[in-house]
Amino acid sequence: MPTSLTPIAAQGPKVSRFIAGYWRVNQWNKTPQELLRFASECLELGISTVDHAMVYRSEATFGKALALDPGLRSQLQIVTKFGIKPMGFGELGAQAVNHYDSSGAALIQSLDASLQGLGTDYIDILLVHRPDYLMDVRELAATMATLRAEGKVRYFGVSNFNTHQFEVLQRELRQNVPAGLVTNQIEFSPLHLTPLEDGTLEQCQLNDCRPMLWSCLGGGNLLAPASERHQRIHNALRVVADEHAVAALETIVYAWVRALPCAPLPLLGTSNIERVKTALAAEKIQLTREQWYRIWEASTGHPVP
């Protein structure tokens, strides 16, 4: 199956409709050869965009796999993130407390480490991992513009930003980088509905960019319920799955999040290629409005007003 790319923003790059997340890659216990095979199988299924972060310590692991097939890099869109500095993070020096650092110097240092780990000379989309309360947007935007001019980063975005944090950086960045921020990677699932109410999704539409969604399966709690609320949602998903003659509940979850008008791009966190196929099956599922709101009602515990 050829890779089918879709624009992430009006002036942004094209990415795959689902994104392969490598947050837990070091827990997968795959050899570089096995990891290369997995990435290649994802590519055959149409998933060419991969998600990393400095704090995941995933880049060097993935870079070893890429080194086995240098031609694969040009077929991928690499997303990575910077800005989180946990205590004792060796690559960036031992820190006394966990903290954020979005300074220009931290960006350059983190980017250089990411490029080295991945074995590449550019990043397709670099995200600010979390909002830094001490963020100097002028300094950050200026550094971003410089890195783009140098060809080290092609596009920028953010992760876990609220609407005001997004807008203040967007306004500054667009003065020198017309494409601005091309995405906001946020948590969203039937268990985490906050973006439906806080304006984050509508803001993406206003800025002609599409959000990336992490933890769509609610950390696995939708598939293995651990509370009354989890079970309620699980049961609603089963009803909808039966109506579509679908065995896997996760297919319905991905169909549910993809129904949003902001056309989000879900991240997958699995290392199992069969589960990747199960997620992709959501592209063939179109929920009715009643089915979508049935799942919403199960999550909130009450009907719409």
Spell out the domain ranges in the chain.
5-187
Active site residue 254: no
The model's pTM is: 0.96
pLDDT computed for residue 96 by the predictor: 77
Catalytic residue among 22, 56, 100, 254: 56
Pairwise CA distance, residues 151 & 159, whole Å: 22
Which H or E run includes 50? strand 49-51
CA distances from 21 to 25, 87, 125, 126, 219 (A): 8, 24, 14, 14, 13
Q: φ and ψ at 189, to 5 degrees?
A: -165, 175
Residue 237: closest CA among 219, 256, 220, 218:
256
Q: Which two tokens stand for residue 269?
A: 């966190």
| Predicted confidence pLDDT, tens digits, the chain (305 residues) | 445 899 999 999 999 999 999 999 999 999 999 999 999 999 999 999 999 999 999 999 999 999 999 999 999 999 999 999 987 665 555 557 899 999 999 999 999 999 999 999 999 999 999 999 999 999 999 999 999 999 999 999 999 999 999 999 999 999 999 999 999 999 999 999 999 999 999 999 999 999 999 999 999 999 999 999 999 999 999 999 999 999 999 999 999 999 999 999 999 999 999 999 999 999 999 999 999 999 999 999 999 99
Residue 118: closest CA among 194, 29, 192, 57:
57
Please give the single-letter amino acid code of residue 290: E
Cβ-based neighbour number of residue 133 at 10 Å: 9
Radius of gyration of the chain (CA): 19
Q: Report helix, strand and coil shares of the chain as percent, to nearest 5.
A: 45, 15, 35
Within 52-210, where are the H helices? Answer: 59-66, 104-118, 137-149, 163-173, 194-197, 200-206
How many Cα atoms within 13 Å fall on the side-chain side of residue 125?
Answer: 32
Which residues contact residue 195 at a Cβ distance below 8 angstroms, ignoring those fewer than 6 apart? Answer: 186, 187, 188, 201, 211
Name the pairing type of β-strands 19-21 and 265-268.
parallel
Residues for the chain: how many in total?
305
pLDDT computed for residue 110 by the predictor: 97
pLDDT computed for residue 4 by the predictor: 83
Q: 80 - beta bridge partners?
A: 126
CATH no. of 5-187: 3.20.20.100
